[in-house]
Amino acid sequence: MRSEQGTPETKGVTVTKLAAVDLGPEIEGMTGRQLRMRLVTIEPGGVLGPVHNHKDRPGIVYILQGTITDHRDGVAREYGPGVGWPEDKDTTHWLENRGSETAVEISIDIFNRQKDET
The span from the CA of 14 to the CA of 22, in Å, is: 23
User: pLDDT by residue (tens digit) across 12-51?
Assistant: 999 999 999 999 999 999 999 999 999 999 999 999 988 9
User: pLDDT by residue (tens digit) across 42-81?
Assistant: 999 999 988 999 998 999 999 999 999 999 988 999 999 9
The span from the CA of 111 to the CA of 103, in Å, is: 23
Question: How does the average pLDDT of the chain come out, rounded?
Answer: 91
Per-residue pLDDT at 4: 47
* φ, ψ at 24 (rounded to 5°): -55, -50
Q: Are strands 103-112 and 75-79 parallel, antiparallel or unpaired?
A: unpaired
Instruction: Identify which has the larger pLDDT, 81 or 117.
Output: 81
**How many alpha carbons fall within 13 Å on the CB side of residue 65?**
11
